[in-house]
Structure 1
Amino acid sequence: MAQTILHPAATRGHANHGWLNSYHTFSFANYHNPARMHFGALRVLNDDTVAGGKGFGAHPHNNMEIISIPLSGDLEHQDNMGNKAVIRQNDVQVMSAGTGVAHSEKNHSSTEQVKFLQIWLFPNEENVKPRYDQQTFRPEDRHNRLQQVLSPSPDDAGVWIQQDAWFHLGSLDAGFATEYQLKRPGNGVYAFVLEGDVTIDGQTLHRRDGFGIWETDKLQITADSNAELLLMEVPMEL
């Protein structure tokens, strides 16, 4: 019997710093909820809006897989590995922090907001050599299908990370139904609804709701309206 956990959008932690408006699905910074520390290897899911000309100054990370997915606007990245890039909608960026990396993220525009997801996963191996990657994905390749954007292997589709995890994005028309088959026994899936309404294994979900499901090998997904969906398959055991 599948196990599930529901996190309605309105139950997330929230911090509005003026320049940064952030919603936290899991405990982060000043939001601490012992019942919401992580979902398996998924440690952080932040839904961030950064004002024009603002951003996060250089700060360190280690032994964490950090994924950024811009939803609108442009995000400027710089790190001490020599990477400087602009990440836009339809891009996915990953940093394997490993032994340690310092980076900054700021709004590339001085006037327009940037909205992005900041996601952290625990790695399956610590103290690896830090690594940066980003890729651009065609939005038409996720229309009424699940587009793989992240995997554990450089030989598989999407950016790759130091964890047995797979991410998929879907842009689904109202009434469209599909199935997601888990890639690895013992994994679970955390679904995050970016826009619209979907039903997953009988659970109705709305914009920015989160839904975790594990002890199953597949999910049934139906779009109840035009919808945008992120599926994050992650190990449940750390």
Structure 2
Amino acid sequence: MSHKAGFVSIIGKPNVGKSTLMNALVGEKLSIITPKAQTTRHRILGIVNEEEFQIVFSDTPGIIKPLYGLQDSMMTAVSGALSDADLILFVTDIHEKHDENDVLEKITNTTIPLVVLLNKIDNATQEQVDEKFAYWQEKLNPKHIYAISALHQYNLEGILPMILENIPEHPAYYDKEELTDRSQRFFVSEIIREKIFFNYKKEIPYSTEVVVTAFKEEETKSGPMIRITSEIIVERDSQKNILIGTGGA
């Protein structure tokens, strides 16, 4: 029996719903989601495995004009995801103005099959959907355009079958038991970073970093426990006080 396997890169501007989409398609929460732009910093793989296929999704940082080193490395991750993709899912917010030039620079002349996903249509009118559909059809002439709501998992059912039509016959790239290429420590650090952004919002910049320094499984009287030690790295001393209080150490 033939087997299909391929890489599908999810790209778009910041905060258009790329991470929400990948989590929905994979069926697991792999990418953290916050209202803060550029929450996703790394290329994160989410893997869908069935007996006859393996789809490897890449959730990528939002595409911007990089202004400093961290953003440069984030855009390098996007370029890497595009270079090995068998299919590109370009996610755009239905309410965005037509100012996606940073994205268009990367995909206008691509030879990789391109699919446009008009996201967040749960708060849009049919007129808005029709207008954006016509705009992107003329602008990019993509293979398909879908009007979706990743958050509410609306109109996603046709995406996996469409992907299978556009990836090659190939053996699995990863073990069929694997859900991602990232370690437990990575996801722990991402969850901590997500909670920081939700609890402190504008007070803490998105460049805040979390480093897990210890990850130990142990047995206790109440059952198994994972003891985690982490360091939170911020830009200024004043931000330390916001996180741990003036009496913290």
Task: Give the structure-1-normalised TM-score.
Answer: 0.29
Structure with more helix by fraction: 2
Structure with more strand by fraction: 1
Structure ID, larger Rg: 2
Task: Give the structure-2-normalised TM-score.
Answer: 0.28
